[in-house]
A and B are shown apart, each in its own frame.
Chain A
Amino acid sequence: MEPLERYRPVVDDFEAFLEACRRPLGTAVRVNAIKASVDRATATLEEEGVGYEQADWNPRVLRLETDSPGSTWASFHGFTHGQEEVSAVPPVVLDPQPGERVWDACAAPGGKTTQLAALMDDRGTVVGNDSNLGRLSALRFNAERLGATSIVVTNQDARNYSMNPLAFDEFDRALVDAPCSCEGTIRKNPDALDDWSIGHVQSVVGIQKGILRRAIQATREGGAVVYSTCTFAPEENEAVVDYALEREDCRVVPFDLGLMHSPGLTEWEGEEYDSSLEEAARIYPHQNDTGGFFVAKLEVGA
């Protein structure tokens, strides 16, 4: 937990934060609306004796009373998909509509990509891209298991993504769920902080900036871009968005989130960020008994 000490000045009730980070995470699944309504999915779980609790902020997120959410009929039929509760936040914030063109820049293993397709009623085009070919097989497996037919899968470096393979030249919306130092996943993966160093943080920042800039460029005027990470480091969150604000035509916009959260930071270790970054959300593990997350929403060209 040592690397988390530097957040003591910015986290409310820091001891509760540390305590939550030490507790293992419960099991959550997302109801896949492509294959089942929430009622049908929960009836299936009830029929097989699996207890669940619906999340207040999103009826499609269920906290399950089982350690093996993949060994249920609901899972076999693709009615549910194992996905951490906070991980379901960015697609909801992006709010894609049926028929739109949506880019998931860092898509594998596909939990959020399939969630985007489901939010669009599997109508429109979701481009799921990942630079790692090996991880794409997981994305394809999940997309097929969940019955998503609106997903195109590409294998490119998102920083200089080419629209050539597609039938159109700009997206309505883009999700950048960036590769990050993963501090917020400590409850799921107790080794997450073992290799932590400020050098590692700085090494991913360049990639994050490149992908976010490309996502803004590839999105139409008036379209939306959501930037998210599962880490607390301001260098990877507010600083990345601030960098994009200075170089691309976009602005931070507010969004409603039914989960407890803290505002984005406007200064960190002597650096100042644009005041609009207060509209971003920092979700800490002790606030909703979840993992940690950062989410910011941008409007392009406005």
Chain B
Amino acid sequence: MSDDGADLEQNVGQRFDRLPETSDERTVEGRASREDVVGYFEERFAIPPETFDDHTFWEKGSGKIWVYAGESPSTVELEALGMTCLRTRQEHWKPTTDAIQRFGRHATRNVIELSREEAERFVDGADQDLEWDGDWGYLIAAHQVAGELEPLGVGLYIHGELRSMVPKGRQRDL
């Protein structure tokens, strides 16, 4: 199929569509491909691509990407398929807290380790001034739990500040 946009289909907001393998195979303009999504997690967080070998990726709603391990549905009228993992609507893609908690253990890049006190503030939704000499943008915030580094969720690091991206419903006063 041509990729000039003329005969591309539209994204339908309430329907799950499987992501094409590569952008050459896409039929919806602007839609991310599996290659793009896996590549994003590898480039940004060094999460190995094989982490997602057993998963498929789907889009429902504009730019909202879902990751799913089960058998592909035959129609697309479903309430949910696996979990939301990535928002691709904006220039800077944004992973979800839940996907980072699930897959972020495999990350070795752009992971900021927080102390227990910093972690408490982070999960309570607070922004905090922190030293970080790596990239700006979305980071994986993590802390030590029972002897291992465990991802807490997504933070946005900008101008010397780590902003908590933990959604209201997932915030906790610990």
Contact = CB atoms under 8 A, between A and B. Distances in A.
A216 interface: no
Interface residues of B, number: 36
Nearest to B170: A145
B69 A165 contact: no
A73 B81 contact: no
Nearest to B54: A123
B83 A124 contact: no
Interface stretch (A150-158, A186-194, A241-249): A150-158
A78 B101 contact: yes
A118 interface: no
A76 B174 contact: yes
B109 to A, nearest CB: 21
B72 interface: yes
Contacts of A149: 55, 67-70, 82-83, 102
Interface string B142-162: 000111101010000000000
B73 A166 contact: yes
A279 to B, nearest CB: 32
A280 B30 CA distance: 55
B70 A126 contact: yes
B165 to A, nearest CB: 15
B78 interface: yes
Contacts of B80: 136, 140, 143, 151-153
A106 B76 CA distance: 21
Given A165-B73, A165-B74, A166-B74, A44 B146 contact: yes
B50 to A, nearest CB: 15
Nearest to B96: A144
A92 to B, nearest CB: 21
A152 B172 contact: no
A172 to B, nearest CB: 12
A73 B98 CA distance: 15
B91 interface: no
A150 B79 contact: no
A140 B79 contact: yes
Q: 3 tightest CB-CB pairs across the interface, nearest first?
A: A125-B70, A43-B146, A153-B80
Interface of A: 34-35, 40, 43-44, 47, 70-73, 75-78, 101, 122-126, 133, 136, 140-141, 143-145, 147-155, 164-168
Interface of B: 54-55, 67-84, 96, 98, 101-102, 123, 145-148, 150, 152, 169-170, 172-174
20 contacts: A35-B101, A71-B172, A71-B174, A76-B172, A77-B150, A136-B80, A144-B83, A144-B84, A147-B98, A148-B82, A149-B67, A149-B68, A150-B70, A150-B82, A152-B81, A153-B81, A165-B75, A165-B78, A166-B73, A166-B74
Given A77-B152, A154-B79, 5 more contacts: A70-B172, A73-B145, A76-B172, A149-B69, A164-B75
